[in-house]
């Protein structure tokens, strides 16, 4: 039974077929269901057909949100202009901005984790509190967040911060602790000062692992971003999904979901390639 | 001895199983709302079972959150559901599920309201932010209010902030930079208690436009074995028996109302307060009069126009006529081959004549 053999090497063709098989099966199952449901009920909106999806994608990409004030001259615009005024692009920009704020705020968290791991006073001061803070389920304190930060951008970014940064801080802390103490000692004997050791010996070593940890946390980050946008917002990818859910606009929801998946995949890929390029000596990624 | 009794019990059970399975079973879904909480009482008090037994069927009463109840109805997981006229149009009807409203239970008569602080009125709303759950009766109420105050052309200049109903009260009360909100009771009562908040428009100014219905899938009603008809009759019978208890004069009524309030973990005073802004159609006659009145058609047209303008009938729906409504007098609004929502008076009429 070669399928269960560890030492087999499937050939190129087999690899290609096998790795795409589940995609093909999923698409076939979807198309079959869509066709079956439309035979029963031609107006079905739960499982849109390919044609409906296509129309949905076109509408989302090219047309502005119907509730918006119409632009002055929407007729004479080029395709690119129409795309840039379309709701998909505007929603993507709005969500991307919040995503980048959230991502940017993870870097101070990394520094805090590093300092906690290396400077005992920092560690003593923060560790217990952050261990506690880490266990707070961010979604459960939403009403408090709204009261404290309003319902505009700040509360959404804070939701991401509360949800994701404790994990990053603690992970960086643990990575810092795992650097062999001999290296720290060696650094000192070679004449390094405290900050040289912290940034040039320890941080430099753990950085690729920290980047990996951030990559793993992209999904929770998106999750909190979506939760925030679904609860109170005027634009954004999750805002649109929440609105369309109210009348089963699956022909746009499904393209949106796939679009988000694609974007997230690209961000992840970029970070992975960047990590490889910056740290060619690192072999775990 | 003991084991023999156990055997006997088991045999009885096994014997009863196929019997129970032969009875046609139906599920009615409801969600927490002053006008739908009676379903909780109907199930708990055994009224529903009594009527189901009378017609030889089984009726399960299932509580949902509102949106999932609509989704379950559209997905044909439940046979009947409590929903507003607007959602009946934009969820099942627009998704091609032929739907029949068999009970018109009540209409919102102040339950939904536009609340503002700092003396903001419709005149100075444009350019300001408005918290609400978009694409629901809240937005409908807001647009009707704007239209009735001569501000129709300015509607798109108000910045809508889509805010989940679970957090809208806290968000508005805490953040005083937001000056206007549209929501429904009991949230309205909560927000109204905040100093400086005024109620500038509410559903009592558009009576009979936000209707709360009990709808059944038309294909269920038309089942060849007639069980769907029985289901509708049993449901209507149980509903109006409960309505009778709710509207009776005397000390027993408070007990019934308290039991109904329990359905949403509410207290009797709070439930009564909500009832005061709900125009309950306690008798089948009152419901029948409303359902067959000429104003009903005008009001449904207003709601349908709103749904169409906001794309709630589906982006591919090119014309309002593609989702047609059939009224009790047999007239059809829209294309007669695309009737998706029907108002059926037969059951309410039978109830009013005592023929259920």
The per-residue pLDDT for range B78-87, each reduced to its tens digit, is: 999 999 999 9
Residue A147 lies in a domain: yes
At A63-116, the pLDDT tens digits run: 887 766 655 555 667 888 888 888 999 999 999 999 999 999 999 999 999 999
What is the average pLDDT value for chain B, to the nearest integer?
91
Residue in B with minimal Cα distance to A147: B174
* From B97, B311, B340, residue closest to A66, measured CB to CB: B311
Q: Does the distance separating the beta carbons of A248 and B95 come in below 8 Å?
A: yes
Kindly report the pTM of this predicted structure: 0.84
* From B161, B164, B310, residue closest to A230, measured CB to CB: B164
Interface size between A and B, measured as CB pairs under 8 A: 106
**Cβ atoms < 10 Å from Cβ of B86:** 22
User: Distance from B126 to chain A by nearest Cα, in Å?
Assistant: 12
B170–A contact, CB cutoff 8 A: yes
Assess whether B258 and B334 both reside in one domain.
yes
Please list every residue in chain B whose beta carbon sits closer than 8 Å to the beta carbon of residue A52.
316
Mean pLDDT along residues A160-166: 92
Assess whether B200 and B213 both reside in one domain.
no
From residue B199, give the alpha-carbon distance in Å to each of A134, B32, B112, B140, B192: 42, 23, 10, 16, 7
Assess whether A197 and A263 both reside in one domain.
yes
Assess whether A194 and A151 both reside in one domain.
yes
Q: Does the distance separating the beta carbons of A46 and B75 come in below 8 Å?
A: yes
Assess whether B181 and B327 both reside in one domain.
no
What HEC string does chain A produce?
A: CHHHCCCCCCCHHHHHHHHHHHHHHHHHHHHHHHHHHHHHCCCCCCCCCHHHHHHHHHHHHHCCCCCCCCCCCCCCCCHHHHHHHCHHHHHHHHHHHHHHHHHHCHHHHHHHHHHHHHCHHHHHHHHHHHHHHHCCCHHHHHHHHHHHHCCCHHHHHHHHHHHHHHHHHHHHHHHHHCCCHHHHHHHHHCCCCHHHHHHHHHHHHHHHHHHHHHHHCHHHHHHHHHHHHHHEECCCHHHHHHHHHCCCCHHHHHHHHHHHHHHHHHHHHHHHHHHHHHCCCCCCC
Assess whether B226 and B151 both reside in one domain.
no
Percent residues over pLDDT 70 in chain B: 94
Assess whether B346 and B217 both reside in one domain.
yes
Residue in A with minimal Cα distance to B96: A43
Residue A283 lies in a domain: no
User: Distance from A243 to chain B by nearest Cα, in Å?
Assistant: 7
At B197-251, the pLDDT tens digits run: 999 999 999 999 999 999 999 999 999 999 999 999 999 999 999 999 999 998 8
Last residue of a domain, one of B165, B185, B205: B205
Assess whether A118 and A57 both reside in one domain.
no
User: Distance from B107 to chain A by nearest Cα, in Å?
Assistant: 21
Residue B276 lies in a domain: yes
Please list every residue in chain A whose beta carbon sits closer than 8 Å to the beta carbon of residue B75.
46
Last residue of a domain, one of A6, A28, A62: A62
Residue in A with minimal Cα distance to B167: A143
Q: Does the distance separating the beta carbons of B131 and A247 come in below 8 Å?
A: no
Assess whether B172 and B220 both reside in one domain.
no
Q: Is the ipTM of this complex over 0.90?
A: no
For chain B, what is the domain count? Answer: 2
From residue A228, give the alpha-carbon distance in Å to each of A144, A155, A159, A190, A233: 13, 8, 7, 50, 8
Residue A237 lies in a domain: yes
Assess whether A246 and A179 both reside in one domain.
yes
The rounded distance, in Å, linking the Cα atoms of B26 and B231 is 7
Is B8's pLDDT higher than 60?
Answer: no
The rounded distance, in Å, linking the Cα atoms of A227 and A220 is 10
Residue in A with minimal Cα distance to B87: A247
Is B21's pLDDT higher than 70?
Answer: no
Query: Residue B304 — very low, low, confident or very high, per pLDDT cuts 50/70/90?
Result: very high
Lowest mean per-residue pLDDT among A135-139, A166-170, B122-126: A135-139
Is B196's pLDDT higher than 80?
Answer: yes
In DSSP notation, B259-282 reads HHHHTTT--HHHHHHHHHTEEE--
Q: Does the distance separating the beta carbons of B175 and A44 come in below 8 Å?
A: no
At A49-67, the pLDDT tens digits run: 999 999 989 988 888 877 6
Assess whether A110 and A224 both reside in one domain.
yes
Quick one: which of B50, B47, B102, B356 has its CA closest to B221?
B102
Assess whether B335 and B213 both reside in one domain.
yes
The rounded distance, in Å, linking the Cα atoms of B107 and B37 is 14
Please list every residue in chain A whose beta carbon sits closer than 8 Å to the beta carbon of residue B182.
none
Assess whether A120 and A200 both reside in one domain.
yes
Q: Does the distance separating the beta carbons of A143 and B162 come in below 8 Å?
A: no
Assess whether B167 and B194 both reside in one domain.
yes
Residue A256 lies in a domain: yes
Query: Residue B1 — very low, low, confident or very high, per pLDDT cuts 50/70/90?
Result: very low
Q: Does the distance separating the beta carbons of A251 and B164 come in below 8 Å?
A: no
Residues 6+ positions from A45 with CB-CB distance below 8 Å: A248, A249, A250, A251, B74, B94, B95, B96, B314
Assess whether B35 and B63 both reside in one domain.
yes
Assess whether A115 and A164 both reside in one domain.
yes
Q: Are B26 and B57 in contact (CB under 8 A)?
A: yes
Residue A131 lies in a domain: yes
Please list every residue in chain A whose beta carbon sits closer than 8 Å to the beta carbon of residue B68.
none
**Cβ atoms < 10 Å from Cβ of B88:** 29
Is B36's pLDDT higher than 90?
Answer: yes
Residue A214 lies in a domain: yes
User: Distance from B340 to chain A by nearest Cα, in Å?
Assistant: 10
Q: Does the distance separating the beta carbons of B162 and A151 come in below 8 Å?
A: no
Assess whether A91 and A198 both reside in one domain.
yes
Last residue of a domain, one of B177, B205, B233: B205
Identify the CATH number of the domain in which residue B170 sits: 3.40.190.10
What pLDDT does residue B172 have? 92
Residue A77 lies in a domain: no
At B236-294, the pLDDT tens digits run: 999 999 999 999 998 899 999 999 999 888 899 999 999 999 999 999 999 999 999 99
For chain A, what is the domain count? Answer: 2
Mean pLDDT along residues B131-158: 94
At A221-234, the pLDDT tens digits run: 999 999 999 888 88
Assess whether A111 and A195 both reside in one domain.
yes
Q: Does the distance separating the beta carbons of B161 and A42 come in below 8 Å?
A: no
Identify the CATH number of the domain in which residue A180 sits: 1.10.3720.10
Assess whether A18 and A124 both reside in one domain.
no
Tell me which of B187, B313, B316, B337 to substitute to probe the interface with A (most A C-beta atoms closer than 10 Å): B316
Range of the domain at A134: 87-278
Assess whether B310 and B245 both reside in one domain.
yes
The rounded distance, in Å, linking the Cα atoms of A175 and A154 is 30
Which residues of chain A have a Cβ shorter than 8 Å from any chain B Cβ?
41-46, 52, 55-56, 59, 66-69, 142-143, 146-147, 150-151, 230-234, 239, 242-243, 245-249, 251-252
What is the average pLDDT value for chain A, to the nearest integer?
90
Range of the domain at B347: 23-107+209-352
Please list every residue in chain A whose beta carbon sits closer than 8 Å to the beta carbon of residue B310.
66-67
User: Distance from A201 to chain B by nearest Cα, in Å?
Assistant: 47
The rounded distance, in Å, linking the Cα atoms of B321 and B2 is 69
Residue B6 lies in a domain: no
Is A271's pLDDT higher than 50?
Answer: yes
* From A46, A67, A245, residue closest to B310, measured CB to CB: A67
Please list every residue in chain A whose beta carbon sits closer than 8 Å to the beta carbon of residue B311.
66, 247, 249
Please list every residue in chain B whose beta carbon sits closer than 8 Å to the beta carbon of residue A242.
162, 164
Residue B13 lies in a domain: no
Assess whether A174 and A100 both reside in one domain.
yes
Assess whether A35 and A120 both reside in one domain.
no
Last residue of a domain, one of B142, B170, B205: B205
Assess whether B270 and B133 both reside in one domain.
no
Residue B46 lies in a domain: yes
Residue A193 lies in a domain: yes
Mean pLDDT along residues B95-120: 94
The number of CA neighbours under 13 Å toward the Cβ of A241 is: 20
Mean pLDDT along residues B12-28: 69
Is B14's pLDDT higher than 80?
Answer: no
Assess whether B232 and B324 both reside in one domain.
yes
Please list every residue in chain A whose beta carbon sits closer than 8 Å to the beta carbon of residue B161.
151, 232-234
Could you tell me which residue, B189 or B314, shows the higher pLDDT? B189
User: Distance from B335 to chain A by nearest Cα, in Å?
Assistant: 15
Q: Does the distance separating the beta carbons of A146 and B174 come in below 8 Å?
A: yes
* DSSP β-ladder status, B180-184 and B112-117: antiparallel
B72–A contact, CB cutoff 8 A: no
Please list every residue in chain A whose beta carbon sits closer than 8 Å to the beta carbon of residue B175.
146-147, 150-151
Q: Does the distance separating the beta carbons of A247 and B175 come in below 8 Å?
A: no
């Amino acid at each position: 039974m070669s399928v269960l053999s560890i030492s087999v090497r499937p050939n190129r063709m087999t690899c290609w077929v096998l790795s795409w098989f589940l995609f093909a099966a999923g698409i076939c199952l979807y198309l079959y269901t869509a066709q079956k449901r439309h035979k029963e009920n031609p107006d079905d909106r739960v499982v849109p057909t390919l044609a409906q999806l296509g129309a949905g994608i076109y509408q989302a990409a090219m047309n502005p949100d119907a509730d918006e004030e119409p632009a002055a001259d929407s007729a004479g615009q080029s395709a690119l202009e129409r795309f840039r005024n379309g709701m998909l692009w505007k929603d993507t920009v709005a969500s991307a901005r919040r995503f980048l704020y959230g991502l940017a705020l993870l870097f101070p968290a990394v520094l805090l984790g590093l300092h906690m791991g290396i400077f005992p006073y920092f560690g003593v001061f923060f560790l217990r509190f952050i261990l506690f803070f880490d266990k707070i389920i961010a979604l459960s304190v939403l009403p408090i967040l709204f009261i404290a930060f309003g319902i505009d951008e700040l509360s959404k970014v804070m939701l991401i911060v509360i949800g994701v940064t404790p994990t990053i801080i603690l992970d960086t802390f643990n990575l810092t602790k795992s650097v062999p103490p001999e290296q720290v000692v060696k650094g000192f004997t070679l004449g390094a000062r405290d900050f040289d050791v912290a940034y040039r010996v320890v941080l430099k070593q753990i950085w690729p692992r920290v980047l990996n940890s951030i990559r793993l946390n992209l999904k929770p980050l998106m999750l909190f971003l979506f939760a925030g946008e679904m609860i109170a917002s005027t634009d954004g990818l999750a805002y649109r999904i929440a609105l369309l859910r109210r009348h089963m606009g699956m022909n746009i929801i499904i393209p949106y979901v796939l679009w988000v998946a694609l974007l997230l995949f690209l961000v992840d890929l970029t970070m992975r390639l960047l990590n490889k390029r910056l740290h060619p000596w690192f072999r775990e990624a | 001895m003991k084991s023999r009794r156990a055997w006997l019990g088991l045999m009885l059970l096994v014997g009863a199983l196929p019997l129970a399975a032969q009875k046609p079973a139906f599920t009615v879904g409801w969600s927490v709302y002053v006008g739908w909480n009676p379903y909780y009482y109907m199930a708990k008090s055994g009224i529903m079972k009594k009527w189901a037994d009378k017609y030889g069927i089984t009726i399960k009463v299932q509580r949902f959150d509102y949106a999932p109840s609509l989704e379950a109805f559209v997905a044909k997981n439940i046979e009947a559901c409590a929903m507003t006229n607007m959602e009946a149009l934009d969820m099942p009807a627009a998704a091609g599920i032929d739907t029949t409203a068999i009970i018109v239970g009540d209409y919102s008569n102040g339950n939904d309201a536009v609340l503002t602080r700092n003396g903001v009125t419709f005149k100075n709303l444009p350019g300001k932010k408005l918290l609400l759950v978009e694409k629901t009766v809240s937005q409908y109420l807001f647009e009707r209010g704007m239209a009735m105050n001569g501000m129709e052309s300015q509607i798109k200049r108000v910045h809508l902030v889509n805010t989940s109903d679970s957090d809208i009260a806290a968000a508005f009360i805490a953040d005083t930079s937001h000056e206007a909100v549209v929501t429904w009771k009991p949230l309205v009562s909560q927000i109204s208690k905040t100093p400086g908040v005024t109620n500038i428009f509410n559903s009592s100014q558009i009576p009979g436009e936000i209707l709360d219905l009990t709808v059944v899938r038309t294909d269920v009603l038309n089942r060849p074995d007639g069980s769907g008809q029985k289901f509708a009759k049993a449901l209507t019978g149980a509903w109006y028996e409960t309505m009778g208890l709710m509207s009776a004069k005397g000390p027993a009524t408070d007990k019934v109302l308290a039991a109904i309030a329990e359905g949403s973990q509410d207290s009797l005073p709070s439930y009564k307060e909500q009832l005061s802004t709900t125009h309950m159609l306690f008798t089948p006659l009152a419901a029948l009069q409303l359902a067959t009145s000429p104003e009903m058609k005008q009001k449904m047209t207003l709601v349908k126009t709103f749904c169409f303008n906001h794309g709630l009938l589906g982006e591919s729906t090119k014309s309002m006529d593609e989702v047609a409504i059939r009224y009790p007098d047999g007239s059809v609004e829209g294309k007669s081959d695309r009737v998706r929502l029907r108002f059926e008076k037969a059951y309410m009429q039978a109830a009013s004549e005592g023929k259920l």
